[in-house]
Amino acid sequence: MSKVNPAVTGAWLEDHDPGDRQFLSIGDLTLESGEVLPDVVIAYQSWGKLNSAGDNAILVNHALTGWADVNGWWPQMVGSGLPFDSDKYFVVCPNVIGGCQGSTGPSSLAPDGKRWGSRFPVLTIRDMVAAELAFTKQIGVMKYQLSVGPSLGGMRSLEWAIDYPELIGAICTIGSSAVATGDQIGAASIQLRAIKSDPNFNNGDYYEQSTGPIEGMGIARRIAHLTYRTESEMDVRFGRELQGDETGRYAVESYLDHHAQKLAKRFDANTYISLTEAMNSHDVGRDRGGVAAALSKIKVPIHVISIDTDRLFPPRLQQEIKELAPDMTELHTIASPFGHDGFLIEVESVGQIIRNTLNLQNISN
Q: Is 221 annotated as a binding residue?
A: yes
Single out the residue of 344, 280, 274, 298 nearest to residue 158, CA to CA.
298
Catalogue the long-range contacts made by 184-190 (C-beta closer than 8 Å, 24 or more residues apart).
184/279, 184/280, 184/312, 184/313, 185/280, 187/223, 187/224, 187/227, 187/312, 188/276, 188/279, 188/280, 189/280, 190/223
* Amino acid present at 62: H
| Cβ-Cβ contacts under 8 Å for 318 (sequence gap 6 or more) | 173, 175, 176, 177, 304, 305, 306, 331
CA 195, CA 190: separation in Å to the nearest integer? 9
* Distance separating alpha carbons of residues 118 and 204, to the nearest angstrom: 5
Where would I find the beta strands (DSSP E) of the chain? 22-30, 36-47, 57-60, 78-79, 84-85, 90-94, 144-150, 171-174, 302-307, 329-334
Instruction: Calculate the alpha carbon distances from 20 to 16, 106, 283 in Å.
Output: 12, 22, 34
Residue type, 361: Q
Q: In this structure, are strands 90-94 and 57-60 parallel, antiparallel, or unpaired?
A: parallel
Question: How far lies 252's CA from each of 53, 126, 285, in Å?
Answer: 52, 37, 39
Q: What is the largest CA-CA distance in the chain?
A: 62
- Of 4, 95, 1, 2, the C-alpha closest to 42 is 95
Rounded CA-CA distance 365/362 in Å is 5
Q: Which residues are catalytic?
A: 151, 310, 340
Which residues, 6+ apart, have CB-to-CB distance to 33 below 8 Å? 121, 122
Look at residues 245, 233, 263 and name the one whose alpha carbon lies nearest to residue 340.
233
Annotated binding site for substrate: 221, 341
